Structure 1
């Protein structure tokens, strides 16, 4: 299924066991956890990036422009986290030109940020 339910340990040992000490038993908490939530959210954000949907920054490298989400970039990179959160002029800019970065290099970096993988062919 899409969601799994995992019990969490919240109490001491159980009682009423007929043989030996009882293992830790869960008394009152359960956690509903998606097995694929992170992957599906990142996949949806990547599709939004490709479609130019809900993107809040355009990165320019060489002669190419790339749409992206500042939050995704900041979550994946200390460089972008500083750029977008430390009162730098880029934090308010809709378009940021990256000096010394090739368009191929930026494409690979963005692909990795949004998918966790990159093709270096």
Structure 2
């Protein structure tokens, strides 16, 4: 399937691992994404990715924008995606992991 975009991803290599540097539509930044993950997300949604509120997001016409890391990992209910090295632009699957979502308890407030 052909992906229509004005900003084409750039193939890069780190050691023997190949990935894409995906230009983000609203900045000069580029996200690192595994080639297979990029094609799966870009064909299902849109190739026009953006950087917004400290995360790479993929616009969706009905749901607003979705975090690219969640689309790549597809976590089950009750899990969140954690970026191991803390770099929100590094969305390669080796850098992403699933963690259980734990709701933090707020300390009681004084009346």
| TM-score, structure 2 normalization | 0.27
Relative to the length of structure 1, the TM-score reads 0.26
- Bigger radius of gyration, 1 or 2? 1
Q: Considering fraction of residues, name the structure with more helix.
A: 1
> Greater strand percent: which structure?
2
